[in-house]
Structure 1
Amino acid sequence: MKIVVTRDSVGAGDDFDAPHRLEFGVSNDRAIADILRYVSQLSYLPSVAGGKATWSAVSGRPLAVIAQQWPDPKPLSVSPIALSDLDSRSDGLYMHFNYHAQIDPDIVFNVLNRLRLKIVLTA
């Protein structure tokens, strides 16, 4: 499966040409968490001075928060995510990484974790 990722720029000086598209292939049975971990280990998401860059990964919905000071991405869902719930197109799976500057990653996680994209009515 082809994965297409894009990300925000972090600074006007040397990182201004967003969306910084990157493509790579993974096996079709690869879990979303594994893909996020892979991207977080590349040099694709820039580090910042002070060591506290915060990113969120999205693909049709928020997926995880990635922090420069954390060893691994922190998923926003404990249940497995179906590809049908993501930005899956005929030519691959699309993900975007939003830059949240040096905002405390726990705050970003808490905000995104409480975010509701659909109205759920109960009887």
Structure 2
Amino acid sequence: MKAAFDVLKERQIITVVMTRDSVCAGDDCDAPHEKSASTYSFLDPSVFAQAISNSYLPSISGSGHSWTCLLNGTKIAIIGTKDVRSLVRITPFAETNRVHFNYHSASG
């Protein structure tokens, strides 16, 4: 466990401004749901996407829906109901980092 902590401690902490799509009409009143967060600059896109989405994305009942995580305009990961899948090899951090989550509802 100590080795994993040492790796995280060495990584630079970055600030990310996040926005997301609304998931229903009642959710629109607070759109675009902007929130700032600080996190370690994980190099793995799926780990980064999961870390910043955990306390940000709303809970949605059911299964089959997903979110596309865009970092600075680049699609980096798909967050599903059971897993997170990387779409790029390296997380494209910039001097200023903005993340947007596109919502994809479950297909009937």
TM-score (norm 1): 0.63
Question: What code does the residue aligned with 1:56 have?
Answer: T
- C-alpha contact (below 8 Å) 1:54/1:103 kept by paired residues: no
1:57 paired residue number: 69
> Quick one: distance in 1 between partners of 2:64 and 2:78?
12
- C-alpha contact (below 8 Å) 1:52/1:102 kept by paired residues: yes
Question: What code does the residue aligned with 1:22 have?
Answer: K
Three-state SS of the structure 2 residue aligned to 1:26 is: strand
Q: Which runs of 4+ in 1 moved over 4 A?
A: none
Mapped pair 1:7 → 2:6: no
Distance 1:39 1:52, change over 3 A: farther
Distance 1:49 1:66, change over 3 A: same
**CA deviation after TM superposition for structure 1 residue 46, in Å:** 1.8
> Quick one: distance in 2 between partners of 1:30 and 1:49?
29
* Residues 56-83 of structure 1 deviation map (CA, whole Å, 9 limit, x = unaligned): 0112211111112x1x310112x22342
Match of residue 38, structure 2, among 3, 14, 25: 25
Aligned alpha-carbon RMSD (Å): 2.1
Gaps of 5+ in 1: 105-123
Q: Percent of aligned pairs with the same residue?
A: 33
- C-alpha contact (below 8 Å) 2:78/2:85 kept by paired residues: yes
**CA deviation after TM superposition for structure 1 residue 45, in Å:** 1.3
TM-score (norm 2): 0.71
2:106 paired residue number: 102
**CA deviation after TM superposition for structure 1 residue 103, in Å:** 4.0
> Quick one: distance in 2 between partners of 1:35 and 1:47?
19
Gaps of 5+ in 2: 1-13
> Quick one: distance in 2 between partners of 1:30 and 1:74?
15
Mapped pair 1:45 → 2:49: no
- C-alpha contact (below 8 Å) 2:39/2:52 kept by paired residues: no
